[in-house]
Amino acid sequence: MDSSSVARIVGSDMTISDKIRALDAAGYPRAEIARVLGKRYQHVRNVLEADRLPRAQPRRPPPPRDVPYPHLQEDGRAFSGAYRLRVDAEGRVALPSEVLAVLGGRSGVLIADLEADRLVILSGRAAAMRARNLVMRHSADPGRVLSEELIAERRAEAARD
């Protein structure tokens, strides 16, 4: 691929991920793609490796309800641990103390996962376990150490450059 083709890809209105894929398809090494696009090598690697992973099946939307949230009581409590929460003018939500206790304390960082029309709040520990399980599920070999594989790839690319 000549420099005008590279300039056309880099200057196009494609997303960064699409530019990475196009340059990879043209045979450019990952380190060079990162340099040309002004991105970190890890970004380039993540895009290309994610394309190799199996796609998750889309979730089905929940069935329609005739009466929205009939199980909520006046005080906001409900069965199965559901709560009615208020959002203030700045977009903040106050969590009930019993929810905070289950999630691991009164302050700190929680992880929220937006799934279609619902928001699932995870404790830091639960989010770490979910991430660990995700990595293990996509690893063909449970004994495989991904960080060592990344370092080996970087060293091989540096040796070629």
pLDDT of residue 140: 64
Digit-coded pLDDT (tens) for 35-67? 999 999 999 999 999 888 777 666 766 655 554
Residue 84, domain member (yes or no): no
Tell me, yes or no, whether 139 lies in a domain. no
Cα dihedral 138, 140, 144, 147 in deg (nearest 10): -40
Residue 131 lies in a domain: no
Quote the CA–CA distance of 123 and 102 in Å, as a whole number.
8
Is 23 part of any domain?
yes
When divided into structural domains, the chain yields a total of 1
Task: Look at residues 40, 39, 47 and name the one whose alpha carbon lies nearest to residue 17.
Answer: 47
* Model pLDDT for residues 106-117, shown as the tens digit of each residue: 667 788 888 888
In a domain, residue 49? The reply is: yes
Least confident of 29-33, 38-42, 157-161: 157-161
Whether residue 33 lies inside any domain: the answer is yes
Better-scored residue on pLDDT, 30 or 51: 30
Q: Which residues pair with 87 in a beta bridge?
A: 93
Query: Residue 101's pLDDT band (boundaries 50, 70, 90)?
Result: confident
Its domain, for residue 13, covers 1-53
**Residue 2, domain member (yes or no):** yes
- CA pair distance 13, 25, nearest whole angstrom: 18
pTM of the model: 0.36
Q: Where are the alpha helices (DSSP H) in the chain?
A: 3-11, 16-25, 30-37, 41-50, 97-103, 124-138, 146-160
Q: Is residue 16 domain-resident?
A: yes
